[in-house]
Amino acid sequence: MKRILFVAGEGLPYIKSGGLADVVGSLPSALVKIGYEVNVVLPLYKSIIEKHLPRFKLVGTFNLDVAQMHYPVRVFSETKEDITYFFIEHQGFFERDTLYGHGDDGERFAFFSHAVLRMMYEFNDFYDIIHAHDWHTGMIPILGKTIYSSLSKKFSRIKYVYTIHNLAFQGNFSAELLSSHLGLPYYFYENGELQFYNGISYMKAGILFSEKVTTVSNTYAHEILTEAYGENMQHVLRSREHDLWGIVNGIDMNENNPATDPLLPYPYDLNDMSGKLKNKMALQEQLGLRVAPDVCLVGMVSRLSWQKGVNLIIDKMRDIMGLDIQLVVLGTGEAQYEYDLHQSELAYRRRMVFYGGYSNEIAHKIY
């Protein structure tokens, strides 16, 4: 049986800021059903600790000593539906109110990448395939093929798949991280493999050093090869064009089935839709909106960034709220957008709600 390890910066059912978490939450289950052994490793974020830590098992501890990093590492785990989820602890790096957007993100995910690979070595727990996701884990393939393959030949047998969920976020940092936190020789910058303009790119590393590169649809796989959508990474992607695959993200029909969803107070299906209106009214009441069965309730669950068009909604908020509708926005992201949405909520009390953060329960009710 092939063993696959998913490595990501977020993943359901534990933590989410965007669509990456949905894929990491659903694809492992689909792979298990067709006969693969799949595990997942995530950072142990503050919100995971607050909600889930009492259930977790302490797997073990080890010391991570690489470059200028000298940290004790604790690894926790929980098994759900034949998938074991591992969590890498670092209080200073991960116990924060937000997942990304910090000035030391390069250092944080250099640590995470090293800790994942070191965990495999220390616990003698190796995989056939490591599936890395987005820039946060883009350095794992090159670290596995260089530093860690010198520790154990078992690393040399691992194949790497790298998935691009959002090309706009590339993990571009100073080249100083090569020596200070990644422990990689500077020639990877000088020969151009990691160089991206005046620094290094974690995403570029993932693209170049993985056996296969995937993205979230066949259309997107073609678009990102162009000047219009390539986000300055199109030339790198073209060099891997024959190993680039588009695989369509799909909906988890078990997780999102209104007939069986335990998070909905009133189940419904095609034969009896009455529960849909009841759920709408329950959500209105829960969020402090005016309970009005005939008013159109518009919902948005999204990362709050320019790429999602949040600025278009904010710019036209007065026109939107001039209609006879109610609006619910759930998500986190850029500070200015969060502030603007909070202000809109104050301006349109009982008609507009901004739920800053992520709640799986509220998200299901909005969907």
State pLDDT tens for residues 260-294: 999 999 999 999 999 999 999 999 999 999 999 99
* DSSP character at residue 135: G
Going by CATH, does the domain composed of 274-366 fall within 3.90.226.10?
no
Task: Output the pLDDT for position 338.
Answer: 95
Sequence-distant (6+) residues with CB within 8 A of 3 are 36, 37, 38, 39, 126, 127, 128, 129
CA dist 122 and 306 (Å) reads 42
pLDDT top residue among 357 and 192: 192
Judge whether residue 251 has pLDDT over 80. no
Closest by CA to 266, choosing from 254, 257, 276, is 276
Q: What is the model's pLDDT at position 253?
A: 81
Look up tokens 């616990």; give the residue. Answer: 123
**Where residue 333 falls among pLDDT bands split at 50, 70, 90?**
confident
Q: Which two tokens stand for residue 365?
A: 């009710």
Quote the pLDDT of residue 1: 79
* Predicted confidence band of residue 17 (pLDDT cuts 50, 70, 90): confident
Indicate the pTM of the whole model. Answer: 0.88
User: Looking at the domain 3-246, which fold is it?
Assistant: Rossmann fold (3.40.50)
Binned at pLDDT 50, 70 and 90, residue 18 comes out as confident
- 357: pLDDT confidence band, cut at 50, 70 and 90? confident
Pairwise pLDDT comparison (45 vs 101), residue with the higher score: 45
Both tokens of residue 308?
């999602």
Read off the pLDDT band of 19 (50, 70, 90). Answer: confident
- Check whether 332 has a pLDDT greater than 90: no
What is the model's pLDDT at position 75? 98
- Taken in order 30, 33, 35, 38, the sign of the CA dihedral is positive
CATH code 3.40.50.2000 region(s) in the chain: 3-246, 274-366
- In eight-state DSSP terms, residue 155 is G
Q: Which two tokens stand for residue 207?
A: 């693209």
pLDDT at residue number 175:
97
Place of tokens 């000047």: 227
- Select from 127, 125, 100, 124 the least CA-distant residue to 112: 100
Other beta carbons within 10 Å of 91 = 12
